[in-house]
């Protein structure tokens, strides 16, 4: 795919933001479609006149946003032309943080939100949480790992909603979207994680159902501990 005509050289100030803006414009232009492959990293470095770290950071952010997909050993492909990078100051900052930092943020949220959900959940909330728990278990049994991952994230999002705090729900939902790409590659290669984690999620659901705040936080912490054994 030739994109030279769409490129202008960027200044040294705020390089990543400038590269992001141009790359997003290229991806969303009518000339390119979902499934097209981006030029190699070395070619992008020459086109933008920037270093390797700037290109990699830009690609990472666009992957987390859902615009790009990195296929190991193959290259970077356009995954969507519809998503937009957030202009919200907090969300824009979160797009630039490292995966481990995002993981630590969501761990803190997971534990506290689980406690609040146990305290505040309604029967309707509980039904939605159980629905996602059943789906994640079903998809895992069927080895439909992409669907499993989505159901796993939705399970935690429903717990977050059950805490009935709109500010935390908005932040949690956005962070989950950023983490999806990270977990998509890590969890699929960690088969032992599934079996152990399934029981932890079942226990977390039961703690929320029984409205046991301390047990809910304890099982959320157990899930955090398992997640920390993964390599991000």
Number of other CB atoms surrounding residue 230 within 10 Å:
14
In this predicted structure, the answer to whether residue 31 has a pLDDT above a threshold of 90 is no
Q: What is the pLDDT of residues 76-123, one digit of tens each?
A: 888 877 655 555 555 555 655 666 777 788 889 999 999 999 999 999
Its CATH class, for the domain covering 89-228, is: mainly alpha
Distance CA 95, CA 58 (A): 10
Report the pLDDT value the prediction gives residue 184, as an integer from 0 to 100.
Answer: 52
Number of other CB atoms surrounding residue 199 within 10 Å:
11
Paired with 75 in beta bridges are 71
Least confident of 54-63, 127-136, 151-160: 54-63
Report the pLDDT value the prediction gives residue 27, as an integer from 0 to 100.
Answer: 79
Distance CA 188, CA 203 (A): 23
More confident residue, 51 or 213: 213
Which CATH code is given to the segment(s) 4-78?
1.10.10.10
Where does the chain have alpha helices with state H? 15-27, 41-48, 52-64, 89-94, 99-120, 123-141, 145-162, 166-186, 191-209, 213-228
Report the pLDDT value the prediction gives residue 231, as an integer from 0 to 100.
Answer: 46
In this predicted structure, the answer to whether residue 209 has a pLDDT above a threshold of 90 is yes
| % of the chain at pLDDT higher than 70 | 75
* Domain residue limits, the chain: 4-78, 89-228
In this predicted structure, the answer to whether residue 2 has a pLDDT above a threshold of 80 is no
């Amino acid at each position: 795919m030739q994109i030279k005509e769409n490129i202008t050289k960027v200044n040294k100030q705020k390089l990543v933001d400038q590269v992001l803006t141009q790359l997003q414009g290229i991806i969303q232009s009518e000339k390119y479609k979902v499934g097209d492959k981006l030029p190699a990293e070395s070619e992008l470095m020459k086109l933008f006149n920037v270093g390797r770290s700037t290109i990699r950071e830009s690609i990472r952010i666009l992957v987390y946003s859902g615009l790009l997909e990195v296929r190991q050993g193959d290259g970077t492909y356009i995954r969507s032309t519809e998503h937009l990078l957030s202009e919200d100051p907090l969300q824009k900052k979160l797009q630039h943080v490292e995966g481990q930092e995002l993981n630590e943020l969501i761990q803190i949220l997971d534990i506290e939100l689980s406690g609040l959900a146990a305290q505040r959940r309604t029967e309707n909330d509980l039904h939605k949480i159980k629905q996602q728990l059943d789906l994640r278990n079903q998809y895992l049994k069927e080895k439909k790992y992409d669907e499993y991952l989505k159901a796993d994230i939705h399970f935690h999002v429903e717990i977050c909603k059950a805490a009935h705090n709109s500010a935390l729900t908005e932040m949690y939902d956005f962070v989950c979207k950023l983490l999806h790409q990270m977990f998509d590659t890590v969890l699929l290669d960690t088969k032992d994680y599934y079996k152990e984690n399934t029981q932890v999620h079942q226990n977390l659901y039961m703690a929320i159902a029984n409205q046991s705040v301390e047990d809910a936080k304890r099982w959320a912490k157990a899930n955090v501990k398992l997640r920390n054994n993964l390599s991000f």
